[in-house]
Structure 1
Amino acid sequence: MAAASASSFTSLKSRPAPGLATIAAVKSGAPLSFSFRRPVPAVSRLRISCAAKPETVEKVAKIVKKQLALPTETPVTGDSKFAALGADSLDTVEIVMGLEEEFDISVEEDSAQSIATVQDAADLIEELVQKKCG
């Protein structure tokens, strides 16, 4: 370990904080320099979302079960991921088509690719139904 002398501590104490003008600099008429730093956001992305109605989630779960030919005892909830239920990309396309037919909506391709869970699908459906009605 390196030894620290008392003089090294006093030199640290006497230095002004970086970017701040000292009183002596202001009195002497020396030019002031300031440094501004952009604050780092605590959250890089803010997402506002409303959870879909339980009835919508249940309807989506029922359609997913039907499209994947899952046994009735297989639990499908909002947190269920299509991949975990055994769905491949073709199954997911068929699920989206079933949802479009059931809810009389049209899902854009980029939106369909972002659907990974039953809750994702239900949230998207509610959003599209609101846009259609509003």
Structure 2
Amino acid sequence: MASSTASLISLQSRPSMAVARISTAKPVQGRSFLSFGLRAIPSRRLRVSCAAKTETVNKVCEIVKKQLALAPDVAVTGESKFSALGADSLDTVEIVMGLEEEFDISVEEDSAQNIATVQDAADLIEKLVEQKQKA
């Protein structure tokens, strides 16, 4: 009465591991045993980006460098995180205010809290500028 079932089930506690095989063994003294085989599955992360224009990202980089008083040799790119550049919550508010002034937009508090990187800021700016032009 041995049966074997193949299945793939994601485990929430270990997203990089999944059950590759579930099988039951022959009953031994009225009991059957269930065994699980685990194998590593490469994690795939999907990142969706609006890919803001290069000029927008460059302006945001300049504003961030100015607001944080960074040395000219400090590299700021789209992937730069504000926290990694030494920005605290007050600095982030000042950066958002500088962006609002430069691009003549208004950033809602909820949206501002979701900005972690220069790219996040540039994407949001382009979205807000586009919405403003449609209105």
Q: TM-score range by the shorter chain?
A: 0.5 to 0.7
- Higher RCO, 1 vs 2 (CA within 8 Å, ≥6 residues apart): 1
Report what 1:24 is aligned to: none
The structure carrying a bigger helix percent of its residues is 1
Gaps of 5+ in 2: 5-45
Report what 1:133 is aligned to: 133
| Pairing 1:1-134 to 2, within 5 Å after superposition | 8-9=1-2, 12=3, 49-134=49-134
Superposed displacement of residue 79, structure 1: 0.2
Question: Highest Rg: 1 or 2?
Answer: 1
**In structure 2, distance between residues paired with 1:84 and 1:57:** 17
Superposed displacement of residue 110, structure 1: 0.4
Q: Judging changes above 3 Å, is the alpha-carbon distance between structure 1 residues 70 and 48 closer, same or farther for their aligned structure 2 residues? A: closer
Counterpart residue identity of residue 76, structure 1: V
Q: Secondary structure at the match of 1:98?
A: helix
Q: Judging changes above 3 Å, is the alpha-carbon distance between structure 1 residues 67 and 115 closer, same or farther for their aligned structure 2 residues? A: same
Superposed displacement of residue 50, structure 1: 1.6
Gaps of 5+ in 1: 1-7, 14-45
Q: Deviations over 1:5-48 (max 9, x none)?
A: xxx13xx59xxxxxxxxxxxxxxxxxxxxxxxxxxxxxxxx985
Percent of aligned pairs with the same amino acid: 76
Counterpart residue identity of residue 87, structure 1: A
Q: Judging changes above 3 Å, is the alpha-carbon distance between structure 1 residues 73 and 128 closer, same or farther for their aligned structure 2 residues? A: same
Superposed displacement of residue 81, structure 1: 0.2
**In structure 1, distance between residues paired with 2:47 and 2:105:** 23
Counterpart residue identity of residue 121, structure 1: A
- Give TM-score, length-normalised by structure 1: 0.66
The structure carrying a bigger strand percent of its residues is 2
**In structure 2, distance between residues paired with 1:80 and 1:48:** 17
- Give TM-score, length-normalised by structure 2: 0.65
Counterpart residue identity of residue 70, structure 2: L
Q: CA RMSD in A?
A: 1.7
Report what 2:17 is aligned to: none
